[in-house]
């Protein structure tokens, strides 16, 4: 199946990307060249895939992957000791997975499921350029959050979009601009709506719906679980405990897009 072939190719491309760090630091180590050859041979087996060809060229597509890969090394809650540690990339995948599961639960149309997954996957993409700026800092000065968002948008236009095919730009911008606001495309224009309204009127591929509210709730749920796990292991700080408690109170008895988030947050209550 094509899907399995793509997954296998992605596995070896990721392995090759990780192996570069080992190879550069351990040149001459016994068996290293054999491992390098084996990985290269596996990638060659999938060279009929356009994505493999583009990444193997080592040009702008490979540069995009290198840039995104930096999120693997950016730590969440960097100013607070926490176990287990979570990378920004790992957090993005968790949010995407939660968004997908919630979308399936509410009988979202296929396009809505697709949009919610990828909007969740890319919601922290600007952090590869601006790094993680914690919410208390963003909220400490009026207008600072808007200024940061403006800088992020400009950086994406200047540094990320040139690395991607032009045909992807509009879709990626749709995902990451106003990423936590629910929206649809109605008569060619982006329209901000409520997720409940999407379920009633716009749950159809022609409107390309995105549940920004749902993605925001999944983002907060992921952060809540991260804090809860560390606290349950005995590794905690004032910031972790305050974040944990404020998120719980925010979603107590809350329903979003038909999902009872209050009940889900209760499940992880310590």
| pLDDT value, residue 270 | 83
**Tokens representing residue 87 in the block:** 């990378």
The span from the CA of 96 to the CA of 209, in Å, is: 16
Cis peptide before 128 (omega within 30 of 0): no
Query: What residue segments make up the domains of the chain, in order of their start?
Result: 2-57, 88-267
**DSSP reduced 3-state for 141:** coil
Phi, psi at residue 211, to the nearest 5°? -95, 80
The C-alpha angle 4, 51, 184, rounded to 5 degrees, equals 85
The span from the CA of 121 to the CA of 98, in Å, is: 10
**Tokens representing residue 94 in the block:** 């968790």
Fold assignment, 88-267: Hypothetical protein af1432 (1.10.3210)
**Tens place of pLDDT per residue across the chain (270 aa):** 899 999 999 999 999 999 988 888 887 788 899 999 999 999 999 999 999 999 999 899 999 999 899 898 888 887 788 888 889 999 999 999 999 999 999 999 999 999 999 999 999 888 887 766 555 555 556 667 778 778 878 888 888 999 999 999 999 999 998 889 999 999 899 999 999 999 999 999 999 999 999 999 999 999 999 999 999 999 888 888 999 999 999 999 899 999 999 999 999 998
| pLDDT value, residue 64 | 92
| pLDDT value, residue 51 | 92
Nearest to 81 by CA among 265, 220, 221, 227: 227
Q: Give the ranges where 26-105 is alpha helix by DSSP (H).
A: 32-44, 50-57, 60-69, 88-105
Question: The pTM is what?
Answer: 0.89
159-181 residue pLDDT tens: 899 999 999 999 999 999 888 99
């Amino acid at each position: 199946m094509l899907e399995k072939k793509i997954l296998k190719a992605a596995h070896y491309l990721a392995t090759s990307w990780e192996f570069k760090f080992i190879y550069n630091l351990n040149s001459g180590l016994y068996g290293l060249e054999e491992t390098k050859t084996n990985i290269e041979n596996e990638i060659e087996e999938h060279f009929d895939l356009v994505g493999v060809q583009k990444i193997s060229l080592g040009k702008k597509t490979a540069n995009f992957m290198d840039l995104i890969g930096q999120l693997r090394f950016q730590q969440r809650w960097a100013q607070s000791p926490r176990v287990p540690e979570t990378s920004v990339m790992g957090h993005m995948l968790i949010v995407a997975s939660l968004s997908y599961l919630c979308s399936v639960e509410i009988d979202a149309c296929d396009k809505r499921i697709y949009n919610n997954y990828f909007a969740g996957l890319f919601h922290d993409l600007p952090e590869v350029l601006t790094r993680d700026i914690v919410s208390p800092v963003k909220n400490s000065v009026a207008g600072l959050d808007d200024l940061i968002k403006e800088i992020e948008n400009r950086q994406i236009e200047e540094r990320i979009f040139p690395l991607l095919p032009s045909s992807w730009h509009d879709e990626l911008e749709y995902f990451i601009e106003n990423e936590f606001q629910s929206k649809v495309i109605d008569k060619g224009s982006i329209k901000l709506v409520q997720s409940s309204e999407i379920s009633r009127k716009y749950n159809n591929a022609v409107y390309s719906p995105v549940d920004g509210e749902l993605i925001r709730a999944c983002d907060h749920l992921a952060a809540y679980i991260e804090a809860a796990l560390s606290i349950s292991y005995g590794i905690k700080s004032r910031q972790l405990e305050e974040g944990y408690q404020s998120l719980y109170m925010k979603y107590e008895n809350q329903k979003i897009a038909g999902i009872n988030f209050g009940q889900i947050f209760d499940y992880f209550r310590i």
